[in-house]
């Protein structure tokens, strides 16, 4: 039996076929495909306050999406911050319960930011204000391509090897990593990877490895989840 | 107290939301809310690949609505109005057979009921207007045919066979919504126990030999009548140990995925 990997989801008004603007739970199919390809069995987790679902999960992917509510790290929302409070509430509980149980967690984009906030850290609410450039989100639907620098000896450095190319799409970023360790940065110094070396597998990346079905990262999550079984 | 875990088959579908247009694993929230409203915990099963091992972690399963099933599965030519979803067909037929084998409590909704019939060796009518001469079973998308003053299209009665399990659950008559252009012809290993009295279209199938295996042609998740979901979650709770203990899920009874 393959390890079961939960993937958190959005709730948005979606349109498809003859249906218009129906409240729908969804997540880009890339996430499920990346988990399958790496040997895991994906299940999608609709936002819900109950964390009981963890009893069947061997691993967890915190998917990308809207901005986290800044009240979670003690700030007022800025003008560019777009939030989904219901999802924040459900995912915060889920990630804390997963960390308590030491379930392997891969946080992607918003998911990395959620790991950071759960570890007591904070975010920059709009990077162009801080960095003066839009390289982390060049245009709608266009990924910013960078080479990242990884901390020698870290998990992410080991996983990425010599191929340092990352594709990101975000306008917020990690400021204070809390109790996590920053193990990767962009050329401009922005944190691109965080880890918790004290747990079996807690890795957050600011970029989107699911888009290229990156077996290095998803494979490592599935391997950690397999140990769980 | 833990809630029984109910898998729900999801679409993999091109969707638009906000400024996004992408392939997503997705399911309308009406389904999720229906399961949560009656005490279950929903997770979505995407049609990625044909493995069925996820069945072992579930307490119950819902086969959701969606597109048409490829008529090749029951040896028929494809009707011009038939729009198939190959990935979901393969994945859901495998899951259905494994779920029947495991006697996992199951509910089929619309397409899900049709998947039950086909998995059980049955057949479908591919386009009801050809059979009935009208399209009354297909309500307009986005409407609620059960709302006061709604058009009669997409709403009808169902008569339930006395003595059936569904009769015990639903009584002899109910009024339902209707959003389909295909229907079960031969229910295969299942038993037809509910019909639209006007045209004899099959509306409910069940297998009384299984713990809970019911398929309905309408969309209960879009109504306040969630009895078919309640019974599913009750059966799932019994399977998972009454809802008050931790079931020995991990490592229990693991098998290789069924070959079909």
Average pLDDT over residues A13-32: 93
List, in order, residues 6 or more apart from B180 with CB less than 8 Å away: B110, B111, B128, B137, B138, B217
- Nearest-Å Rg of the Cα atoms of chain A is 17
Which chain A residue's Cα is nearest to B250? Answer: A229
Residue B247's closest chain A neighbor by CA?
Answer: A55
Hey, are the CB atoms on B25 and A29 less than 8 Å from each other? Answer: yes
Considering the candidates A124, A136, A146, A208, report the single residue annotated as catalytic: A208
Q: List b or e across B152-187, with b for residues whose CB sees 16 or more CB atoms inside 10 angstroms.
A: ebbbbebbbbeebbbbebbeeebebbbbbbbbbbbb
Q: Catalytic: B110?
A: yes
Residues 6+ apart with CB under 8 A from A63: A7, A8, A9, A10, A27, A28, A31, A108, A109, A110, A111
Mean pLDDT of all residues in chain B?
90
Residues in chain A within 8 Å Cβ distance of B90: none
Q: CA B169 to CA B124: how far, in whole Å?
A: 25
Class of domain B5-13+23-239: alpha beta
Q: Is B53 on the interface with A (CB under 8 A)?
A: yes
Mutation target among B22, B31, B41 for the A interface, most CBs of A within 10 A: B41
Q: Strands (DSSP E) along A83-187, which ranges? A: 105-108, 123-124, 144-147, 149-150, 165-168, 173-174, 181-185
Q: Which residue has the tokens 């804390």?
A: A96
According to the model, what pLDDT value does residue B1 have?
Answer: 59
> What pLDDT, in 10s, does the model give residues B74-99?
999 999 999 998 999 999 999 999 99
What gap in Å lies between CA A191 and CA A166, rounded to an integer? 13
Task: Give A209's DSSP letter.
Answer: G
Rounded Cα distance, B173 and A52, in Å? 37
Q: What is the reported pLDDT for A229?
A: 61
Full DSSP string of A52-113: GGGGG-SEEEE---SBPPGGGGT-PPPTT--B-HHHHHHHHHHHHHHHHTT--EEEETHHHH
Q: What is the ipTM of this complex?
A: 0.91
**How distant, in Å, are the alpha carbons of B187, B212, B232 from that of B96?**
14, 13, 15
pLDDT in tens, B38-51: 999 999 999 976 68
What are the residue ranges spanned by the domains of chain B?
Answer: 5-13+23-239
- Chain B interface disruption, residue of A10, A39, A43, most B CBs within 10 A: A43
Contact A44 B44 (CB under 8 A): yes
Find the catalytic residue in A91, A192, A195, A210: A210
Spatial separation of the C-alpha atoms in residues B49 and B52, rounded to whole Å: 9
Task: Summarize pLDDT for A163-221 with one digit per residue, the tens.
Answer: 998 988 989 999 999 999 999 999 899 999 999 999 999 999 999 999 999 999 999 99
Closest Cα in chain B, distance from residue A151 (Å): 34
Domains, chain A, in order of start with CATH, read 4-228 (3.40.50.880)
Residue A154: which of A185, A179, A178 has the closest Cα?
A185
Specify whether B221 is catalytic: yes
Q: Would you state the structure tokens that stand for residue A196, as one six-digit string?
A: 């918790």
CB A225 within 8 A of CB A184: no
* Segment B228-258, tens digit of pLDDT: 999 999 999 999 875 433 333 333 333 333 3
Whether the CB-CB separation of A53 and A45 falls below 8 Å is answered with yes
Query: Could you tell me the pLDDT band of residue A228, with boundaries at 50, 70 and 90?
Result: low
Integer Cα distance of A53 and A69 in angstroms? 24
CB pairs under 8 A between A and B: 135
User: Residue B242: its pLDDT value, please?
Assistant: 56
pLDDT in tens, B147-159: 877 877 789 999 9
Contact A185, A89 (CB under 8 A): no
User: Which residues on chain B are in Cβ contact (under 8 Å) with A28?
Assistant: 22-25
- How far apart (Å, rounded) are the C-alpha atoms in residues B118 and B189? 9
pLDDT above 70 covers a percentage of chain A that reads: 99
Q: What are phi and psi of A163, to 5 degrees?
A: -90, 105
Residue window 14-33, chain B: list those with CB within 8 Å of chain A: 14-19, 22-30, 32
């Amino acid at each position: 039996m393959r390890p079961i990997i939960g993937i958190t989801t959005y709730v948005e008004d979606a349109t498809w076929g003859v249906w218009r603007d129906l409240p729908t739970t969804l997540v880009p199919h890339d996430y499920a495909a990346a988990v399958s390809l790496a040997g895991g069995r994906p299940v999608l987790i609709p936002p819900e306050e109950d964390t009981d679902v963890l009893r069947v999960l061997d691993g967890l992917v915190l998917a990308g999406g809207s901005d986290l509510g800044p009240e979670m790290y003690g700030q007022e929302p800025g003008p560019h911050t777009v939030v989904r409070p219901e999802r924040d509430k459900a995912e915060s509980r889920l990630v804390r319960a997963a960390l308590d149980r030491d379930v392997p967690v891969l946080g992607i984009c918003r998911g990395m930011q959620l790991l950071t906030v759960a570890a007591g850290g904070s975010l920059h609410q709009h990077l162009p204000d801080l960095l003066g450039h839009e390289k982390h989100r060049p245009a709608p639907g266009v990924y910013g391509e960078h080479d990242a620098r990884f901390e020698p000896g870290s998990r992410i450095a080991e996983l990425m090897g010599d191929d340092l190319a990352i594709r990101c799409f975000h306008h917020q970023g990690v400021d204070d990593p809390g109790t996590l360790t920053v193990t990767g940065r962009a050329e401009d110094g922005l944190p691109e990877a965080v880890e918790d070396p004290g747990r079996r597998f807690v890795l957050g990346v600011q970029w989107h490895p699911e888009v290229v079905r990156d077996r290095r990262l998803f494979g490592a999550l599935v391997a950690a989840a397999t140990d769980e079984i | 107290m833990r809630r029984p875990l109910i898998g729900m088959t999801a679409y993999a579908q091109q969707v638009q939301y906000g400024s996004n247009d992408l392939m997503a694993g997705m399911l309308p929230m009406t389904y999720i809310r229906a399961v949560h409203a009656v005490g279950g915990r929903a997770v979505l099963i995407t049609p990625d690949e044909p493995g069925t091992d996820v069945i072992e972690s579930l307490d119950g399963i819902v086969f959701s609505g969606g597109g048409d099933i490829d008529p090749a599965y029951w040896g028929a030519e494809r009707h011009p109005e038939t729009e198939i979803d190959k990935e979901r067909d393969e994945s859901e037929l495998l899951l259905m057979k494994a779920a029947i084998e495991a006697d996992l409590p199951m509910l089929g909704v619309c397409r899900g009921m049709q998947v039950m019939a086909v998995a059980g060796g049955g057949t479908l009518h591919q386009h009801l207007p050809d059979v009935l001469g009208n399209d009354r079973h297909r309500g307009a998308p986005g409407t609620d045919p059960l709302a006061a003053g709604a058009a009669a299209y997409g709403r009808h009665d169902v008569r339930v066979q006395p003595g059936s399990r569904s009769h015990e659950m639903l009584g002899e008559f109910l009024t339902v919504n209707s959003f389909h252009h295909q229907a079960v012809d031969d229910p295969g290993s299942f038993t037809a126990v509910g019909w639209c009295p006007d045209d004899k279209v099959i509306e409910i199938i069940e297998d009384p030999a299984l713990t809970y295996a019911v398929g309905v042609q309408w969309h209960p998740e879009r109504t306040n009548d969630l009895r078919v979901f309640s019974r599913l979650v009750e059966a799932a709770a019994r399977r998972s140990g009454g809802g008050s203990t931790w079931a020995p899920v991990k490592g229990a009874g693991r098998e290789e995925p069924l070959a079909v």
